Structure 1
């Protein structure tokens, strides 16, 4: 099937043909045959780089009205915004900013937004939602994610109620149960293993890679020199081999420190040079982490993890896409959707520490990493290699190479998530009774195929919590209180709202209320990212907490989770010193956090302090401490 045969404007067809796109890939043609250009709901479950974005574009440009493209990550939103903005005659908007706001997003032909942003807009009653003709959900397999899944699921269900005739297009990596997702969405299923670039996957052990296509590759590494069995020397040799062959490489390891260490070692191997990119990194910020990154980039190697500033991550991603970097050493988060394909992907570590011990990575996550191998129009093939460090070849082959990815399972039964969404359903006017709430949730992936009573008991439990926190009332039906409405509109979790209320009530009897008081409250909530507290700093942080006890709303002897609270005190202390003018460099060095961690916590603190001030106004309490420290931040 040719692009010129599609029902697209002439200038759009000419745009794609000018980029050499004249024929549709088989999965794209299958999507057209399934009705993607005729308003049919479609689920597309195909490998990475198989043309899902073009399928989305087809749906959005033929839907006959405004379109919404939902992504899981801000970095992915920016990438898709830039891609769609290149299409002639299409006005594209992007919405990924302040989590607490839900400004009008209408007026564009296509809006690219995170699921959280769309959920916030729905809660605020944004009128543009009713006008949507097409909604594309990228990475829909993240329905199974504990963090993002419930919000994505409820957002999709409520979008269907607000715009019942909207076309839903769901894009996914290959998963075990795409039929179930398609059945839930009343959609046609396009399922394929086709890739534009052939991918071979193998395991490296004993100086040899055995690929799944029967081929082998010798890797000249002395097993005794391979860093005590963890596979670093093998990884270095695999990366160098790909680069010497004219390709680029991604190397995945389990931790930030490992990513930086591997990048530094590869940079010393003289695999290339990228002085101009290194200059860009230095110009973007002068933290010690940034300087280490720039030093690695000089050798055409970068590291990539959540501790980097967002600007540094963007420089690395763009330079790699432009082929100005030879290698990125990354934690698995890089594989979550950002488009950085490479000739070869090396997965050195297949386990990570989860707080209770080392656990194997999910099959789907490893397949996502492997799927980054093979650059369309640049590589004749892609290679993904799992390094057998402490594991053996047979175990990795059976666990990952020949295994099917896990099924997507709803996470909506999580009590924390369900509280949030039940409150939002009532506060937004979608339901006025227990039955009404169940009716809304009946459209979720969780409810699909389950008896109603399996959800009813969970709803009763969370309604009881929300009534106890004075956010819902149960009279003749269900109604949100003024407090409950404010908590939902500010887009904070109900337990966060309850913690803020407790803090405000405690503040009324305190003699000393400071910016630290306000920060302790918002940092001691589930919506604030935790900050690691090392053994060496625990005693010092304990002394800090004791010396500032009169500024805290929590008594050290009464907290149920002292370690979690002490971590919150550390976060509050860092933010207060930032507000008082401490440099990023000093804070990063003193508190062992990354500049990206500081960046994200400042942003979250601004949002949560604003939410706390709004809650204070509802309670007719003094919220000046929250406003003042927010201004200083």
Structure 2
């Protein structure tokens, strides 16, 4: 079977070569070797940075480019072709981006440049560096990552250099309805770590780059990659129109400024040994590795988990002894355990440490007081701490209770910290792994593992985005789009690399196999209701638009579309279990923390049994926020607080997206029960408090959790109950600022409804709904961004009659809505009105549809007329106060007017003097 497969691959490659040779001859961009063949010799000496021009030379922190940068300079700075550079990590590739930026700006001072990198940490690093170094030339940089706000988006539109992740750029370019007009005038695209297209997230990178190529035909592309054998496939993909491939520059380890010794050590793992025992075994081997490869110089040991960094540091602290020379002690105020380790020359570093602790450790390592840091992989991408020796202790990490391999990009980032060019010309890295994985990592570090596309695994999601962006409108345009991807380029060369997703058929051409695969992806979108076909063209449906607008995965969207009739008390259960939260990490060290949170008396929905699953963590994080819980004070939880707050922000952001998607889906499906439930959760999350609990009161200025609980002990469980209390009751309860709180309560907006049905024998009945808000709109905080929702449905049938969201800024006065309804006899209609960002303000009306009834019906027992009179009275009092204030100001202005007139006379007399 193997022989037949090899024969088929050979025939496929031969056929592809034959088809290519029959195409019209196109000019080919040269490779690095071709260029040096033309010049007959490599550069004899390194180039001075003034080669970019006297003005821009000061951007660089050095006076001469290194050997690799000097060799690449003519193709990057003096040529305009697209360029793909493959070079070892740590060889100085980023400088090539800066050279390309300078060329683009010299050609056009207002040039727009886009930098894409697969990791936020890389984007943050580039932004921090470039925004500082280019600022002196009035060249601005803007950052677009998943955490960017609208101000950053606006800044990115105005700046010269946009720095972004592929995911954020994808959202950014599809958020405007008129996309063609909103396109930024890009002239240069910089792709960092382009080999990351083979990772799980690489599909987004490949799709975004493909879209940019199709939209900007004349854009110049500079792509940097670690050493990979099939870099020519990437060059063919990134070529300029009319060329066979981009200029390809290949540099080996001899071009690295610091010579790096790379070693992979494979260890046999017994079948009876679990992962914890194997990790302990690897720890026992560390001392010998440091002594054999470390040369008594700084060492970084990368560990799989936060707990592992601590345990490894403790083990090394006991064993290293006098191996490293003793340094003056560090006296900063730190945890005793950490301080003891540091003064033994060892420290641990992870995301759970405070910023002060990380600062002390990083400075101690750079100054030489700390010789070994045991850290997690996040340090490799976010902190510049080069070491002589890097040790990767194990190549698997625990994520959400399961073992997962590090991505290739993570491994290369960790290796990139080896070698310190400012101190020496050598470095070393050692990868410790299982014997079965040894060959894989040897291929990776020596650059012999080929890059494959990950786009097939995300094809349906990518197709939906391209339909939404306008790149794909029918099956033919989908085929044309596919031909511009790296996946297509690579599939023609090696179809059996994709046998798991696209089965090569002996009697079919590769192009026919791809067409069948493409058709399957489009059919999946159509069958799921995410696209529709209108006048022969693919159009993104309302469900597809909802998925993209809220940045959800296809699996999450399918999950939401299956949900129905969700009751209010189960809504959080269902949303916490969406596939969207699969990437939230649940570490074993966090289990005691969430067990403690679950035991809190303020948890509204306590979970049964052990807290083992990711969805349970998500559930409790949301309840922590809505229950206004205090973080546990036990010392064992102190180190987890930073990670907890980071995860909480991420979970709440994703939960908001899910709720927004749920509202759109359940409204479209007419699922009243589910719609009411997600609207309830939306209000609670916006107000950061459970509705129908005393925590409603924390929305009132002056009432904190303590005051709310004090009111709760007096059987006051809501704002409406608190409004019934006389002023004296607040004083008797010992509440500070009771007068102010009493007044604030009465200014908190409440909604009242008035509704009636007008019967009409010939046409549909008319439902008249009047909505009154007690507080004038302009006095409501954040009224510009607040909305009101009205939900109308049959009480018995649960049939959704109407759902609408009304921005407060559009409601100048009381609101009246007239709807035509086909109300059945003896049926009751229920009308709900609520603010989207406040709890305790809403109301409901139950209205019977009997033909004899033509009267108004109120849900609340208060007299709305009296309420309106009280509001007018308050307006008059406020107007009187305003008039009195204006009189005082006028009096003051008359006094000031005399003073200013005197000054003006002095100014005029001074200006009339002619200077000598």
* Inter-CA distance 526–449: structure 2 relative to 1 (3 Å threshold): same
Match of residue 117 from structure 2: 71
Tell me which of 592, 602, 614 is aligned to 1:567.
614
Q: Within the alignment, does 1:14 sit opposite 2:75 as a pair?
A: no
In 1, Cα distance between equivalents of 2:551 and 2:367: 38
Residue 7 of structure 1 and its aligned partner are, at CA, apart by 3.3
Q: Tell me the distance in 1 between the aligned counterparts of 2:460 and 2:49.
A: 49
2:591/2:611 contact within 8 Å kept? no
The alignment status of 1:3 with 2:14, answered yes or no, reads no
Partner of 1:211: none
| Distance (Å, rounded) in 2 between the aligned partners of 1:176 and 1:528 | 33
The answer as to 2:230 corresponding to 1:185 is no
Give the structure 1 partner of residue 583 of structure 2. Answer: 529
- Distance in 1 (alpha carbons) for counterparts of 2:143 and 2:483: 30
* Residues 325-371 of structure 1, C-alpha deviations (whole Å, 9 max, x = no match): 53321344544576432111223435567899988878876565444
Distance 1:128 1:30 in 2: 38
Match for residue 429 of structure 1 among 467, 470, 473: 470
2:132 pairs with 1:132: no
Describe how 1:386-425 pairs up with structure 2 within 5 A.
Answer: 386=431, 399=442, 404-414=447-457, 417-425=458-466
Deviation at 1:53, TM superposition (A): 1.1
The one of 655, 660, 663 equivalent to 1:614 is: 660
8 A Cα contact 2:266 2:435, kept in partner = no
Q: Does 1:262 align with 2:312?
A: yes
The alpha-carbon deviation at position 308 of structure 1 amounts to: 5.9
Alignment partners' CA distance in 2, 1:73 and 1:32: 27
CA distance in 1, matches of 2:613, 2:424: 51
5+ residue gaps, structure 1, are 207-225, 283-289, 557-562
Counterparts of 1:569 and 1:408 in 2: how far apart (Å)? 37
CA offsets per residue over residues 211-255 of structure 1, 9 Å max, x none? xxxxxxxxxxxxxxx99982435423554788884x321112344
Secondary structure of the structure 1 residue equivalent to 2:648: helix
Counterpart position of 1:42? 83
1:192 offset after TM fit, Å?
Answer: 0.7
Q: 1:156 aligns with which of 189, 209, 215?
A: 209
Aligned mates of 2:48, 2:485 — CA distance in 1: 35
Tell me which of 377, 380, 390 is aligned to 2:425: 380
Please name the residue that 1:250 is paired with: 300
Q: Which moved more, 1:576-585 or 1:474-483?
A: 576-585
Deviation at 1:82, TM superposition (A): 1.9
CA contact (8 A) 1:531 1:571 kept: no
**1:632 matched residue in structure 2:** 688
| 2:371 is the alignment partner of 1:326 | yes
Greater CA drift, 433-442 or 473-482: 433-442
Is 1:466–2:535 an aligned residue pair? no
Picking from 84, 89, 94, the partner of 1:53 is: 94
Q: Residue 221 of structure 2 aligns with which residue? A: 168
| Pick aligned residue for 2:552 from 489, 492, 505 | 492
1:189 aligned counterpart, secondary structure? strand
Q: Is the 8 A contact 1:609 1:627 kept in 2?
A: no
1:183-227 Cα offsets, whole Å, 9 max, x none, are 211121111121111122346899xxxxxxxxxxxxxxxxxxx99
1:232 matched to 2:256? The reply is: no
Q: Does 1:200 align with 2:261?
A: yes
Contact 1:606-1:630 at 8 Å conserved across structures: no
Taking the aligned partners of 1:132 and 1:459, their CA distance within structure 2 comes to 30
CA offsets 1:119-151 (integer angstroms, 9 cap, x no match): 1112224666431111111111111101x1101
How far apart are the structure 1 equivalents of 2:69 and 2:235? 17
Per-residue CA shift, 1:56-87, capped at 9, x if unaligned? 11112212311111122222222111221223
Normalised TM-score (structure 2): 0.55
Which residue of structure 2 lines up, in the alignment, with residue 214 of structure 1?
none
| Partners of 1:69 and 1:310 in 2: CA distance | 28
Q: Mean alpha-carbon deviation: is it higher for 133-142 or for 456-465? A: 456-465
Q: 2: CA distance between counterparts of 1:354 and 1:175? A: 28
Structure 1 residue 481 corresponds to structure 2 residue 541: yes
Residue pair 1:71, 1:113 contacting (<8 A) in 2 also: yes
SS at match of 2:473: coil
Give 2:37's aligned residue. Answer: none
Q: Using the alignment, how far apart are the partners of 2:634 and 2:544 within structure 1?
A: 36
Decide which moves more: 314-323 or 187-196: 314-323
Task: Report the 3-state secondary structure (helix = DSSP H, G, I; strand = E; otherwise coil) of the residue aligned with 1:30.
Answer: helix
Distance 1:145 1:198, change over 3 A: same
1:223 — aligned with what? none
2:173 pairs, out of 95, 102, 122, with: 122
Tell me, in whole angstroms, the C-alpha distance in 2 between the residues paired with 1:597 and 1:456: 46
Q: Is the 8 A contact 2:298 2:371 kept in 1?
A: yes
How far 1:302 moved relative to its partner?
3.6
Structure 1 residue 601 displacement after superposition? 3.1
CA distance in 2, matches of 1:575, 1:310: 25
Q: Secondary structure at the match of 2:618?
A: helix
Distance of 1:291 and 1:442 partners within structure 2: 61
- Structure of higher CA gyration radius: 2
| Pair 2,430 (structure 1): closer, same or farther in 2 beyond 3 Å | same
Contact 1:239–1:251 under 8 Å retained in 2:
no
Q: Aligned-pair distance for 1:488?
A: 0.8
CA distance in 2, matches of 1:80, 1:259: 28
Structure 2: segments with no counterpart, 5+ residues: 1-45, 240-245, 268-276, 492-509, 668-674, 690-916
How far does the alpha carbon of each residue in 1:282-319 deviate from its partner, in whole angstroms, 9 at most, with x for none?
6xxxxxxx886666556554434566679976886677
TM-superposed CA distance for 1:386, in Å, is: 4.5
Matched, 1:343 2:388: yes
CA contact (8 A) 1:197 1:374 kept: yes
Change (3 A) 1:155 1:536: closer
Distance 2:369 2:537 in 1: 62
Inter-partner Cα distance in structure 2 for 1:438 and 1:401: 33
Match in the other structure for 1:446: 487
Range with bigger deviation, 529-538 or 94-103: 529-538
Instruction: Output one character per residue of 1:86-122: Cα deviation in whole Å (capped at 9) or x when no partner.
Output: 2331211112243797934211121221121111112
RMSD, matched Cα: 4.6
Secondary structure at 2:543 match in 1 = helix
- 8 Å Cα contact 2:621/2:651 also seen in 1: no
2:131 matched to 1:82?
no
Instruction: Say which of 565, 577, 580 aligns to 1:506.
Output: 565
